[in-house]
Amino acid sequence: MEWGSDSPWLRVHFLDVGYGDAILIESSDFAIMIDTGEKKFSQRILDYLSDRDITSIDAALITHPHKNHFEGFLPLLDKIKIKSLYINGETNAEAGYAELLSAFRQKSIPVKTVKSGSKIETPINGLTVEILHPNNLSADPNGNSLVTWLRFQETYFLFTADIGESQQDHLIGQKSFIKKAHLIQIPHHGGSASESWAAFFRHPIFVLSTGENQWGIPDETKLKKLTAPVWRTDQHGTVVIESDGQRLKILSSKHGK
């Protein structure tokens, strides 16, 4: 980084895993992994971690039990030390999820169910991680996705997974402090953004994890309503955002920015 050798730092990596999510959050001696995409991308993730000399994940989060969010964790278990896993308690899961949780438990990795208000402890001064959603589970697995709020000193990050428009509107109504987010993950790979959600934020960095899919996502009409340009993994490759606690800087693996 160019902040200075003694500056605190945080990097958020939106890995290019096609139509799925895989987000690496790293600071000095601490790493969080939110989702891993499908199994076919696991080697890409392992190579990425290896290139950065990351041999362990302190906190792994599965936002909800759809394969394009959880499936890549199973190959990682044999290669990377994972210290704890956080889930939303959803039982309406796609194939392979129960087996994955069993594999975590067989390795004596704590599996913790979290909800709105839960916090993930970190050893980094000025770094806090809180779950904002859900409070109670509904019949909608996407709508039950874990929403994560991360603060690093004076910079703020909002990770939304696959929440729908009703959950977006609930968040901005009940958690109005998210308006100060400097970086926002666009929900559901760009397929979901309510009118009020799109109008709520003012000039943050928007990041979208998506790739080829059968549903025609992202919805370009919804993206046009957003208040700032969008960084997309399907166009820019893996997108990396760096923070020194005061400012953000955007990098892109494909374009070298």
Q: What is the pLDDT, as a whole number, of residue 164?
A: 96
Structural domain contains residue 167: yes
pLDDT above 50 (res 158) = yes
From the CB of residue 104, how many other CB atoms can be counted at a distance below 10 Å?
20
User: Coil, strand or helix: which one is 65?
Assistant: coil
In this predicted model, what pLDDT tens digit does every residue of 69-82 receive, in sequence order?
999 999 999 999 99
Instruction: Tell me the mean pLDDT in the region 236-254.
Output: 90
Q: Model confidence over 87-129: pLDDT tens digits?
A: 999 999 999 999 999 999 999 999 999 999 999 999 999 999 9
Find the domain containing 153 and state its range.
Answer: 10-252
Residue 4 clears pLDDT 80, i.e. is over it: no
- Residue 1 located in a structural domain: no
Asked whether residue 2 is assigned to any structural domain, the reply reads no
One-letter amino acid at 70 equals: F
Burial of 117 from C-beta contacts in 10 A (0-12 / 13-18 / 19+): exposed
Q: Please enumerate in sequence order all residues whose Cβ is within 8 A of that of 219, keeping only pairs 6 or more positions apart, or say none.
A: 190, 191, 192, 193
Tell me whether residue 69 is in a domain.
Answer: yes
Residue 5 lies in a domain: no
pLDDT at 1 > cutoff 50: no
Residue 67: its H or E element: helix 67-70
CATH label of the domain that carries residue 221: 3.60.15.10
**Residue 6 — pLDDT band, cuts 50, 70, 90?**
low
Q: Is pLDDT at 36 greater than 80 in this prediction?
A: yes
Q: What is the pLDDT of residues 182-232, one digit of tens each?
A: 999 999 999 988 999 999 998 899 999 999 999 999 988 889 889 898 999
Q: What's the pLDDT band for 256 if we cut at 50, 70, 90?
A: very low
- Average pLDDT of the chain to the nearest whole number: 94
Helix intervals (H) in 8-66: 42-51
Domain count, the chain: 1
Check whether 242 has a pLDDT greater than 50. yes
Q: Tell me the β-bridge partners of 112.
A: 86
Indicate the residue type of 57.
I
